[in-house]
Every structure is written in C-alpha cells, then in structure tokens.
Amino acid sequence: MTAVSKLQYGDRFGEEVIKIARGSLSVASSSSEAEVASAKYSRWFNGEDATPEPMATSSRKFRKITANMAVSEVAAATKENLSILGDDASDLFTSKLPAGHKMRRTVRPSLLHGFPYLGTCKFGEVVTERGQDKYAVTQMFIANFDGDLDTADGANFYKPASRDFGQMFYSVHILVDRFGNPLGFDRDRGENGIAFKTKDVTKALYSIASASTGLSIEALQKRAAAKKTAR
C-alpha cells in the first residue's frame, strides 16, 4: 500500500457502517434523508462511486463504526478517525516537503453540522506574517467529502456537493491574535481567503510546499524536474 493510499477513508473506517444505512438507525433526521444516506453507503461499499475515497492502512489505529451505534457514537467515532486521517496526511506531506519548510503539525478534526459521518481535519499550518497585534496564518486541511467553500460573512463555510463520501484537500488564510485566537479569514490573500482546494494530492503538495517555503509553485516544479532529469 502506497503512502497516498493511507489517506483513503472508505475502506478504513468501519466495515459494518453499511448496516447503519440498512438497519433501523438513521444517520439523518428524516426518512427521505435516510434513503439518501442508504444510497450513499451502498455506492461507497460497492465501489460504484468514482470519487477517490479515503482508505485504510492499520486496523489497530482506527475505531470501527458498527450498526448498533447511536448517531452521537457515529459522530464521536468519525471524529476520532478524522484525527487519524489528519495524522497520516501530516506525515505524508511533511515527508515530501523540502528541507527547511515551516509547516508545523496541528491535528484538529471537526464534523459537518447535521452529518455525523462527514468532516474535516486540520493537519498543518504556516505562520506567514507576524505583526505586532496579529499574525497571518495559512492552515491546511483534509476532508472526507467533496464540495465548495464560502468565506463570505454569514455564509456556511462548507457547501458539500452531496451526502456522499469524497476527498479534498484545501487551505485557508486566516488572521489570529497574538494568543492564537482566530480573528477571521484573510480575504486579501488567495481567492477570498482560500489558498487552494483540490482532490489532487500532487497539486496539494506543491501548494503546501509553496506556502511553507515561500517559493513559487513554478520554482518547485522546476526543482522537481531537474532532480528527475539528474537521476
């Protein structure tokens, strides 16, 4: 199993979770939503969903989701498993970054409101500017769903494309006070505060490497090409 496959979520966390969708426990709040959830799990486990999904490596590391769990237990297990996913993402990207990079490990999972099986995990951050009263920070995340991000005031930041499992990497620019408390998105940077959003691990790596070294993506790609030619 390759290092990248460690980030695949579907096969990794809870082989019996299909029973939740087929049984009496609903992961949603209504019968119509439960039908959507059931279809989601079916596509996931039968390999019919073309979206690359997070996959497992070590059964010793994760908490399985079983059919007799309450929704709150599913949420708790998902949060634990997202932490593992964040750890593996941090390990993978850190191992590929150039020497002297400034990304620090910060693993912090969170769930989407109303979706106990979907969430994100912050796995790294880079302080890009230090002011007298506030710092500019770029934070990196992995999510077990696909969707859009909205940094507008009053908007829901996460806009899932569906209730299906998926995978994306993204990064945001934020401002924090000198104690580390968030002050809001730094919308003057990136695209309204969004540094990048991609499903592609390689694109995510170059974006993270650029943020953590100060080098442009083009310069990093030239370095990589030169190394490949020299072999």
What whole-number distance in Å separates Cα of residue 190 and Cα of residue 196?
Answer: 8
Helical (H) or strand (E) element with 95: helix 71-96
- Rounded to the nearest integer, the mean pLDDT of the chain is 78
Judged against a pLDDT cut of 70, whether residue 157 lies above it is answered with yes
Phi-psi region of 190 (alpha: psi -120 to 50; beta: other; left: phi over 0): left
Per cent of the chain over pLDDT 70 is 72
Per cent of the chain over pLDDT 90 is 41
pLDDT tens-digit series, residues 29-82: 344 444 444 444 334 333 444 433 333 343 356 677 776 778 888 889 889 989
pLDDT recorded at residue 117? 84
pLDDT tens-digit series, residues 97-140: 888 999 999 999 999 988 888 899 999 999 999 988 999 999 99
What whole-number distance in Å separates Cα of residue 189 and Cα of residue 87?
Answer: 27
DSSP one-letter string for 5-22: GGG--TTTS-TTHHHHHH
pLDDT recorded at residue 231? 66
Q: What is the largest CA-CA distance in the chain?
A: 60
Helices (H), 97-230: 201-213, 217-230
pLDDT recorded at residue 171? 97
Residue 12's alpha-carbon distances to 7, 55, 93, 162, 177, in angstroms, are: 9, 5, 20, 21, 37
Stretch 144-162: mean pLDDT, rounded?
90
Nearest Cα to 11, choosing from 151, 165, 200, 140?
165
Identify the three-state secondary structure at position 208.
helix
According to DSSP, residue 31 is labeled: H
